Structure 1
Amino acid sequence: MINIFNSLKEIDELLDKHNNYRNNCLNLIASENYINPVIGEYLKSDLVGRYGCYEGLEGEEREYTGNKYIKEIETKTQDLVKDIFKAKYCDLRPIGGHIAGVATVLALTDPDDLIMEVVLENWGHGLIEPMADTVGHFDRVFNVEAIPYKENQTIDTAKFIKKIEEKKPKLIILGSSGMLFPEAVEKIAEAANDVGAYLIHDSSHISGLIAGGVFPNPLEQGADAVFCSTHKSFPGPQGGIILSNSKEIMLKVNEVIPSLVTSHHINRLPALAAAILEMKKFGDKYGKQIIQNSKALAEELDNKGFNVLAKERGFTESHLILMDVSEFGGSYKAARMLEKSQILSSDDFGGPDREIRIGTAEITRRGMKEKDMKKIADFFERVLINQEDELSVIDDLKNYLIKFDNNLYCIEK
């Protein structure tokens, strides 16, 4: 029997189930965030069914008629993005961070050029490495090597700079989905410049922290370009951005984008603009609280006996922490145990199955502070160490989350 929707009522019922379930989950997925309902409303405009396709850096010529106000909405949103990320140029057409990254790589490399990136084993985003491994076309085009890492998922900067000098790559991609601390972007940018390499930064996870001014901006540290998402630590609608201070680079990117993205879902632009206005108002306080919560939660988990990475460095300076859960059967098993009790985290989906990733962006938006991190650590202890009955944990978790219905750092009309 084919399982299909037969009515609008059935769609509504399933959505209601989803909303109720997620509202009663403790969401610690670092790549997700709570969207202000005021911002969400902007996704419902007439733009949802319209095209804004264009070519050219400024988007002067539109492929479709009827873009009189679409162009103005896009231009003003671009100016907001450039302002908050301190960039001279931006492209908002990628519909996700991954597409933004692929477009940038294709724009700046030729077949067989050496690309060095953070690989999946080290919580890389899996931009080029998996494509080359799984798609024959890309394997014949891309030449990829891993950026060397050391303990606690941090770049071995000295070793990496030596590799840059020896191998002379065409492109270096910094940034990862497990970034605990700022990277040595300035030193790496200097080494890249010496060998004529482009340095781009995957800031998808830390874009909200950069916008809030609480994490270094790679563009200001010497990166040639940045690509990122708008829906991780940045609390906006799903989408992607490419940023640069180089007109030459952005002209190259512009030649590639139309072959990857034609309809770029312009209904998200007013919502993105509203999210930037929200970050302009609250980004600093929001970002600082995220980092404080991350550090506090890491310390509380450490006090419970969990193996939290980078203790000697204070655990983290970002919106996430990494915890080795090998003793609980690995990251996949541990994440599913937590999920059964409605505690959501991320397993090490591309690496050696050791660590789970725990993010604090959404719980910070829900209003949690440092004092609440002990309670969260208690729930982890109950599930992973004590292995309590999941229904008991779920019931207590629901009662606890009721306290956090007043979402913070949200702009109002």
Structure 2
Amino acid sequence: MRGNAFEVPPAWAPRDHDRTHSPLAPEDAMTQPPAHQHPALAAADPELAALVGAEERLQADTLRLIPSENYVSAAVLEASGTVLQNKYSEGYPGRRYYEGQQNIDQVERLAAARAKALFGTDHANVQPYSGSPANLAVYLAFAEPGDTVMGMALPMGGHLTHGWGVSATGKWFRGVQYGVREDTGLVDFDAVRELALKERPKLIFCGGTALPRTIDFAAFAEIAREAGAVLVADIAHIAGLIAGGAHPSPVPHADVISTTTHKTLRGPRGAMLLAREEHAKAIDKAVFPGLQGGPHNQTTAAIAVALHEASQPSFRDYAHAVVANARALADALLARGFDLVSGGTDNHLILMDLTPKDVPGKVAAKALDRAGIVVNYNTVPYDPRKPFDPSGVRIGTPSLTSRGLGTAHMDTVADWIDRGVRAAGAGDEDALLKIRGEVAELMAAFPAPGLPTA
């Protein structure tokens, strides 16, 4: 199964422990006893403890290929569950509306300082609850309801909060969207410039959720200057790659940078806003009191831990390994006749158009899930199918890289995907079950960071 792959996980794959797991069929999950690692939870709420234990086993036994997911370290998990949960802290360090902030202020200052050092920015706000509220804060800081804003269209790979119609950002603001070329799957900057100069938006967002290629921040910055717009770089997906030097940084080009703290950054489910000093007050005021009350201090602490981990030399190796794995996987999929949007990838993400395989994306994703391969169905540019039943599947390599899998494994992963898609088209459940067993066998050899021992 492992071929010429390394026998021990590399240094960039965080190792909390060793353990093996056996495959767990979904219908068996709730029959399992509560995880012994959570004795207080098991005693207080056995039903919930059983669900946590089932999820731990599922994450251990399956190949997680959703590009927005990852495994956090045991240290990040511990920080997320500390007594910092007990404290309210409306305001900012040194300027709180509650007393007893002696330690909380230090935690937040530490997280912000580490963010500024890691990304090389003037200012960091680590309080946003998640990526969408962080983006809403940018609107509140720089725009008024009804103003024109510009971002990549959702079906082309953009994000809901970049002015798409069904989002509050598209309802409260006038959203105009750019896309990618149908023939290349790449951004047409001449078309972006033409649209920006015609519409004169207050904000231009670059970045998205299904972009497999390097973002040209300098080109977007030039267009924003010509149009008199504030450039917002949404790096939620690629923040870890940027921190590890595997993707160019937007810091020299963007006025504001929005990011989540999980995904490739391998932290808790939170967000940050990074900005030039001239925008610091506007950003802080928009986050609090503009949009939210007290920050989630336990999450702030976990962000601080993740930022510390991302500053280590091993994380740089990890970021480059994520990209190397994605490129190797893309090549292996292309060799098997898959149609990849833009023809491949420069980062952690691959977007497959399954139209030539005559299998809808949703059908393929659900079949692969039964095979122990976790992906998400996704629209592709110019998709003729509906968003809830699209033509594509989106996959990525952050999680498998965290487990220690390398380029030598990517041909096996591509073979599983190929067999799984063919089985989906044929309705061959036995083939999917066989793949699931093979997946569980390989996953047992590469324990996931942060998960408990059996």
- TM-score, scaled to structure 1: 0.90
Cα distance, 1:404–1:19 mapped onto 2, change above 3 Å: same
Q: Cα deviation per residue 1:227-256 (whole Å; 9 max; x = unaligned)? A: 000101110011000001132x22122222
User: Contact 2:121–2:274 (CA<8 Å) still a contact in 1?
Assistant: yes
- Cα gap change, 1:205/1:250 in structure 2, threshold over 3 Å: closer, same or farther? same
2:48 maps to a residue whose letter is I
Checking the alignment, whether the CA contact within 8 Å between 1:153 and 1:178 is kept in structure 2 is no
2:166 — aligned with what? 133
Query: Structure 1 CA distance, aligned partners of 2:170 and 2:158?
Result: 18
The structure-2 alpha-carbon separation of the partners of 1:108 and 1:350, relative to structure 1 and needing over 3 Å to count, comes to farther
Q: Residue 245 of structure 2 aligns to which amino acid in structure 1? A: G
Change (3 A) 1:350 1:47: farther
Query: In the alignment, is residue 322 of structure 1 matched against residue 351 of structure 2?
Result: yes
- Give the aligned partner of residue 88 of structure 1: 122
Cα distance in 1 for partners of 2:320, 2:265 equals 13
Distance (whole Å) between structure 2 residues aligned to residue 294 and residue 128 of structure 1:
26
Q: Does 1:266 align with 2:308?
A: no
Q: Determine which of 216, 220, 224 is the counterpart of 1:188.
A: 220
Q: Percent identity?
A: 26
Amino acid paired to 2:434: S
Which AA in structure 2 matches 1:27? R
- Deviation at 1:225? 0.5
Q: Structure 1 residues 139 and 74, CA, compared in 2 at 3 Å: closer, same or farther? A: closer
1:336 has 2:370 as partner: no
Distance of aligned partners of 1:180 and 1:30 in 2 relative to their CA distance in 1, 3 Å threshold: same
Query: Does the Cα contact within 8 Å between 2:150 and 2:205 map onto a contact in 1?
Result: yes
Residue identity opposite 2:377 in structure 1: D
Q: In structure 1, what is the equivalent of residue 198 of structure 2?
A: 166
Letter in 2 for 1:366: R
Which residue, out of 314, 324, 347, partners 2:377? Answer: 347
- Please tell me whether the aligned partners of residues 291 and 317 of structure 1 are also in contact (alpha carbons under 8 angstroms): yes
Say which of 46, 68, 76 aligns to 1:31. Answer: 68
Following superposition, the deviation at residue 188 of structure 1 comes to: 2.1
What is the DSSP-based 3-state SS (H/G/I as helix, E as strand, rest coil) of the residue aligned with 2:311?
A: helix
- Contact 1:30–1:358 (Cα < 8 Å) also in 2: yes
- 1:71 is aligned to 105
Q: Which amino acid aligns with 1:253?
A: I
What does the per-residue CA deviation read over 1:327-353, in whole Å, with 9 as the maximum and x for residues that have no partner? 343222211111111211121169731
Match of 2:257 in 1: 226
Residue 300 (str. 1) matches residue 301 (str. 2):
no
Would the aligned equivalents of 1:213 and 1:283 in 2 still touch at CA under 8 Å?
no
CA distance in 2, matches of 1:153, 1:95: 32
Structure 1 residues 214, 399: closer, same or farther in 2, change over 3 A?
same
* 1:213 and 2:242 matched: no
Match of 1:357 in 2: 394
Distance 2:449 2:171 in 1: 49
Matched residues in 1 for 2:346 and 2:239: separation?
14
C-alpha RMSD of the superposition = 2.1
Superposed CA deviations along residues 4-48 of structure 1, whole A, max 9, x for unmatched, are x99522222221112112211110010110111122111121101
How far apart are 1:369 and its partner, in Å? 0.5
Instruction: Give the 3-state SS of the residue equivalent to 1:233 in structure 2.
Output: helix
* Structure 2 letter corresponding to 1:321: I
Q: How has the CA–CA distance of structure 1 residues 204 and 323 changed in structure 2, closer, same or farther, with 3 Å as cutoff? A: same
1:399 maps to amino acid: E
Q: Which residue number in structure 1 is paired with residue 276 of structure 2? A: 245
Give the aligned partner of residue 255 of structure 1. 285
2: distance between equivalents of 1:245 and 1:33? 29
Question: Aligned equivalents of 2:48 and 2:244: distance in 1?
Answer: 37
Describe the SS at the equivalent of 2:268. Answer: coil
Most deviating of 321-330 and 101-110: 321-330
Which secondary structure does the structure 2 equivalent of 1:226 belong to? strand
Give CA deviations for 1:161-180 in whole Å, capped at 9, x if unaligned.
12222222111011011122
Q: For 2:348, give the aligned amino acid.
A: H
2:172 partner SS: coil
Counterpart residue number, 1:112: 146
Q: Give 5+ residue unaligned stretches, structure 1.
A: none
Of stretches 147-156 and 119-128 in structure 1, the one that deviates more from structure 2 is: 147-156
Residue equivalent to 1:369: 406
TM-score by length of 2: 0.82
Q: Deviations over 1:154-198 (max 9, x none)?
A: 211111112222222111011011122222221221221123111
1:309 matched to 2:346? The reply is no
Q: For the residues of structure 1 that align with 2:394 and 2:332, how far apart are their CA atoms?
A: 15
Q: In the alignment, is the contact (CA less than 8 A) between 1:123 and 1:348 conserved in 2?
A: no
SS in 2 for 1:15: helix
Matched, 1:45 2:75: no
Structure 2: tracts of 5 or more residues without a match: 1-41, 384-389
Distance of 2:358 and 2:62 partners within structure 1:
21
Equivalent in 117, 122, 126 of residue 156 of structure 2: 122
Letter in 1 for 2:106: E
- CA distance in structure 1 between the aligned counterparts of 2:193 and 2:434, rounded to whole angstroms: 52
- Equivalent residues of 1:96, 1:238 under 8 A apart: yes
Give the Cα separation in 2 of the matches to 1:60 and 1:334: 52
